[in-house]
Structure 1
Amino acid sequence: MSRISFNRMAAAVGLGFSLLTGAVVAPAQAHAEGEIRIAEQFGIVYLLLNVVRDQHLIEKHGKEAGIDIKVDWTQLSGGSAVNDALLSGAIDIAGAGVGPLLTIWDRTHGRQNVKAVASLGNFPYYLLSNNPKVKTIADFTEKDRIAVPAVGVSVQSRFLQYAAAKQWGDKEYNRLDKYTIAVPHPDATAALIAGGTELSGHFSNPPFQDQALANPNVHVVLNTYDLLGPNSPTVLFATEKFREENPKTYHAFVEALAEAADFAQKDKGAAADTYIRVTGAKIDRAVLLKIIDNPQFEFSITPKNTYPLAEFMHRVGAIKNKPASWQDYFFKDAKPLQGS
């Protein structure tokens, strides 16, 4: 299916998101203390960044530290685009899944030393299908296509590989990769709802998975909480250089995230309003609030249960360096204090 037809369907169902590709973000030179450029992707999992942006929390904590901070925001789709932007110097903070984090941590180990700054919370991700014949991952065939943000790199791709390894053994971990295609969440959701295309699967995230499931033709094939237990699928990461050369800006960012997490966890209604206001999402507030109020959701900067995926990726050869624990791929900051 062409990009144009995907975008038309996205507009038709009112998902209303603009897509910026990695090519739009121009490389930039290293800058002095007092500037931070942040890349986010799509979905409720980035709500903490929406709160930070809406309440100007980085600027607030910067002023408390005696500096004025200029914050630039951009939106990308897929871990590959985000990782490329970070390594090119186009952004300072990358928002992506644990899969892209572990890939870039491994590749920059001993060089740029990219590590995670914080989690964005704990959320179940659903693998969906509109094909009634697909009940489990074993039912996908060459006639199916599964949308993921970035083939082989995104956390959704890694979750699918993890599930395949459990189903068929580690040697077959990438068995379903040939069925995956890179499509942004809004477009994939529109295609799944509309039907009539080869795209019959989508490894999604909230609220897109919930919007798709409102269609009776769409069902859940796999829940990542069933696969791994409660976990933090999405994180923020940066280079060691940025952290060391911009300590006040970096600290203001971490403090802003912590404040945003406290706000979102304690006031789900205000969090829902923030998401709609900042993203422009065409979603009913009551529907969104019901999604956010899911007891399985936890807005927290402390990572949870990320290490099983790291151990798996090393075991199958997706990363060369084996982390001893989650602390190997997270910066050792005062926040978060604990994790897994």
Structure 2
Amino acid sequence: MFKDPFARLLRVLLSIALLSVPASVFAEAAEIKVAQQYGIGYLPLMIMEEQKLIEKYAKENGVDVTVGWAKFAGGNVMNDALLSNSLQFASGGVGPFLTLWSRTRGSLDVKAVSAINSMPLYLNTRNPNVRTIKDFRDTDKIALPAVKVSIQAVTLQMAAEKAFGEGQQNRLDALTVSLSHPDAQAALLSGQSEITAHFSSPPFQYQQLKNPAIHTVLNSYDVLGGPATFNVVWTTTRFRSENPRLYDAFVRALDEATALINRDRKWAAEAYLRLSKDKDSVQEILAMLNDPSIVYTTTPQNVMKYVDFMLKIGAIKVRPESWKDLFFPNAHGLPGS
């Protein structure tokens, strides 16, 4: 049968060209680093680390990868690490993520991979004179993970605007101090520190309330008018494009870790204590995990409320048309908001 000699020559030349390209051009990253912070909100990531779930799914996808894990106190430092490519997956509150999403549009195009959970955040204080946020004075200091950019800081600004009026969102910013949750809790409970309040997260907020001198001033769900995403995971469009199999492995690993938690909360409580070295009992952590307001889910919830507020105060410069513009396509089939 007659064959086109030009077509045959083209195939030969193409084969030679492909063989001459270094294997590294087709290779995905041999090593990645993933970030997490403190508290039960990051339990899915802790399980992913212990059980090497990213490595498991990467291998199924034909990639051998070494996964490093780093612990950060707040999203601001984590974002710097992501921009310098010393970190491939960041995790934290909606506030730091939205800040970087807005900042990198048209360049690195950072987007969210997935939500991790929906959880209420409590602002607790040891000052008996503070019953609402209007009662804070210049002598008070409010600890939170990162001044102005953490989800706690943004939620406090939202509450301040509601309490003090339009344009007063920064009213309490001068009282805020950046501290990791463990350090902030130690300072609050000591009674000897300048820290008189802590805008926290589970399990710290519940541990603090076991002390009769501590009470809650604010609940984030009250500020937002209902449940909302606490933590998300984000990365750059470039990393996803250059490492599609590793990206897929991360998504599948997070899905499995989330399913493991939701399948057996007692097992999850034991896992958290084992991995975090927390001193609470299994029963205490299990009670937190069984709280209906604490939900492990990859579905984004009420993130657009943070978007609208941060846009209004100038913290981000553009409004996405929907929550889907903030997330990579793997999340678009979920009933997010």
Question: 1:16 maps to what in 2?
Answer: none
User: Which residue of 292, 295, 300 corresponds with 2:292?
Assistant: 295
Aligned counterparts of 2:248 and 2:220: Cα–Cα separation in 1: 32
What secondary structure is seen at the aligned counterpart in 2 of 1:104?
Answer: helix
Note the 1:129-208 alignment, pairs <5 A: 129-208=125-204
User: Which residue of 89, 92, 99 corresponds with 2:88?
Assistant: 92
Question: 1:20 maps to what in 2?
Answer: none
Aligned counterparts of 2:127 and 2:190: Cα–Cα separation in 1: 12
Aligned counterparts of 2:32 and 2:327: Cα–Cα separation in 1: 19
User: Which residue of 311, 325, 329 corresponds with 2:326?
Assistant: 329
Q: Are the equivalent residues in 1 in contact too, given 2:28–2:246 (CA < 8 A)? A: no
Q: Are the equivalent residues in 2 in contact too, given 1:80–1:150 (CA < 8 A)? A: yes
Aligned counterparts of 1:166 and 1:324: Cα–Cα separation in 2: 25
Q: Are the equivalent residues in 2 in contact too, given 1:170–1:316 (CA < 8 A)? A: no
Question: 2:272 maps to what in 1?
Answer: 275
Shift of 1:197: 2.3
What secondary structure is seen at the aligned counterpart in 1 of 2:106?
Answer: coil
Aligned counterparts of 1:98 and 1:126: Cα–Cα separation in 2: 16
Note the 1:207-246 alignment, pairs <5 A: 207-228=203-224, 229-246=226-243
What secondary structure is seen at the aligned counterpart in 1 of 2:309?
Answer: helix
Aligned counterparts of 1:170 and 1:265: Cα–Cα separation in 2: 41
User: Which residue of 260, 263, 267 corresponds with 2:260?
Assistant: 263
Shift of 1:169: 2.5
Cα distance per residue 1:196-234 (max 9 Å; x no partner): 322111000000111111100001100111111101111
Judging changes above 3 Å, is the alpha-carbon distance between structure 1 residues 329 and 170 closer, same or farther for their aligned structure 2 residues? farther
Aligned counterparts of 1:136 and 1:152: Cα–Cα separation in 2: 20
**Are 1:54 and 2:50 an aligned pair?**
yes
Q: Are the equivalent residues in 1 in contact too, given 2:74–2:145 (CA < 8 A)? A: yes
Q: Are the equivalent residues in 1 in contact too, given 2:144–2:179 (CA < 8 A)? A: yes
Shift of 1:66: 1.9
What is the CA RMSD across the aligned residues, in angstroms?
A: 1.3
Judging changes above 3 Å, is the alpha-carbon distance between structure 1 residues 289 and 302 closer, same or farther for their aligned structure 2 residues? same
Question: 1:72 maps to what in 2?
Answer: 68
Q: Are the equivalent residues in 2 in contact too, given 1:254–1:335 (CA < 8 A)? A: no
User: Which residue of 249, 252, 255 corresponds with 1:252?
Assistant: 249
Shift of 1:140: 0.6
Q: Are the equivalent residues in 2 in contact too, given 1:185–1:208 (CA < 8 A)? A: yes
The range that moved more, 217-226 or 168-177, is 168-177
**Are 1:125 and 2:121 an aligned pair?**
yes
> Which amino acid is 2:249 matched to?
A
Aligned counterparts of 1:56 and 1:41: Cα–Cα separation in 2: 18
Shift of 1:50: 1.0
> Which amino acid is 1:274 matched to?
A
What secondary structure is seen at the aligned counterpart in 2 of 1:171?
Answer: coil
The range that moved more, 52-61 or 40-49, is 52-61
Q: Are the equivalent residues in 2 in contact too, given 1:165–1:171 (CA < 8 A)? A: yes
Q: Are the equivalent residues in 2 in contact too, given 1:302–1:336 (CA < 8 A)? A: no
What secondary structure is seen at the aligned counterpart in 2 of 1:181?
Answer: strand
Aligned counterparts of 1:300 and 1:36: Cα–Cα separation in 2: 24
Aligned counterparts of 1:286 and 1:34: Cα–Cα separation in 2: 40
Aligned counterparts of 2:211 and 2:34: Cα–Cα separation in 1: 34
Shift of 1:335: 6.6
Which ranges of structure 2 fall in alignment gaps of 5 or more residues? 1-26
Cα distance per residue 1:261-307 (max 9 Å; x no partner): 11111211111111122222222221111111111111111111111
Aligned counterparts of 2:85 and 2:175: Cα–Cα separation in 1: 32
Question: 1:314 maps to what in 2?
Answer: 311
> Which amino acid is 1:106 matched to?
S
Shift of 1:317: 1.1
Shift of 1:318: 1.1
Identity percentage of aligned residues: 46
